[in-house]
Amino acid sequence: MNTQWSHDTVLLEEAVEALHIQPSGRYIDATFGRGGHSNLILKHLGKQGSLLGVDRDPQAVAHAQTWTDERFAIRHQAFHTIADLPEASVDGLLMDLGVSSPQLDDAARGFSFRRDGPLDMRMDTTRGMSVAEWLKDAALADITEVIREYGEERFAVQIANAIDRCRQERGVIRTTLELAQVVASAVKTREPGKDPATRTFQAFRIFINAELEELQQALDASLRLLKPNGRLVVISFHSLEDRIVKQFIVKHSREVVDRRALFATPPPLRLVALGRVRASAAEVAGNPRSRSAVMRVAKRTEVPL
């Protein structure tokens, strides 16, 4: 049975407006998902414009392949692979990070601690190792580090120890609810309204998909890909992602003076920071998943590489 999962695109109008669409421009939606941003971008493009969608989720790619617009193409790859595109060939690049509603709502994908399913969490189910496969043989120290670093979890040691005990007593942890129960047994207190497993699931998902590494590589690639005055728009959903985006924009939009050579010409700026946007109260009320979204916008300078 082919279930159609719904998805409310976060910061839809704001993100597309921030791209400052030129009718004949070339754009990249590096995280196509279910195409909410892409669909609106195409409405702003003229006949000579083009849009490349990128996604490593086979279900997202399958949805994109049903589109018949000749201005649109889809690539089934992780979004850091945009680095292979020609230099200064893109007028705007959008990255909407995190997990889509269809991924969360489909228990078979293993992203949700509220729905029982196989403990997978891979964005691309055609390749790589699932969380269950990794946990089977991962060292206790590695599990602890992943939970602490990627989940920013203060109970990382207790949770990792609980996972290790479970492995020794019952074998492999195979399902999402089984993992959620193990985590809950180790976390004695949590913020009101927050499930004890939230941070651990985030940590394992980020780790198994190498999400932060991919983000950094894609950001680095953007400097080479964007044309002068091209726009970079990134929507983040947790502090680890947003910190990387913020630091990247600050690094390339701030004049750096070499104190060992005070009279030397500083390197040219590569970006101009254009702002930070949060979801409106109305959007959060209609789509609670948007409450943590942070959109950062920057413009490529006119100075060539």
pLDDT tens over the chain, length 305 residues: 344 545 689 999 999 999 999 999 999 999 999 999 999 999 999 999 999 999 999 999 999 999 999 999 999 999 999 999 999 999 999 999 978 888 888 899 999 998 899 999 999 999 999 999 999 999 999 999 999 999 999 999 999 999 999 999 998 899 999 999 999 999 977 777 788 999 999 999 999 999 999 999 999 999 999 999 999 999 999 999 999 999 999 999 986 555 565 555 555 678 999 999 999 999 999 988 899 999 999 999 976 55
The answer to the question of residue 261 being in a domain is yes
Closest C-alpha among 196, 203, 210, 184 to residue 143:
203
Q: Are residue 135 and residue 168 in the same domain, yes or no?
A: yes
Q: Are residue 21 and residue 87 in the same domain, yes or no?
A: yes
Q: Are residue 80 and residue 217 in the same domain, yes or no?
A: yes
- CATH number of the domain that residue 72 is part of: 3.40.50.150
176, 208, 240 - which closes a domain:
208
188, 208, 228 - which closes a domain:
208
The answer to the question of residue 113 being in a domain is no
Q: Report residue 155 CA to chain centroid gap.
A: 25
Contact predicate 18/296, CB 8 Å: no
159, 187, 208 - which closes a domain:
208
* Domain, as residue range, for 166: 125-208
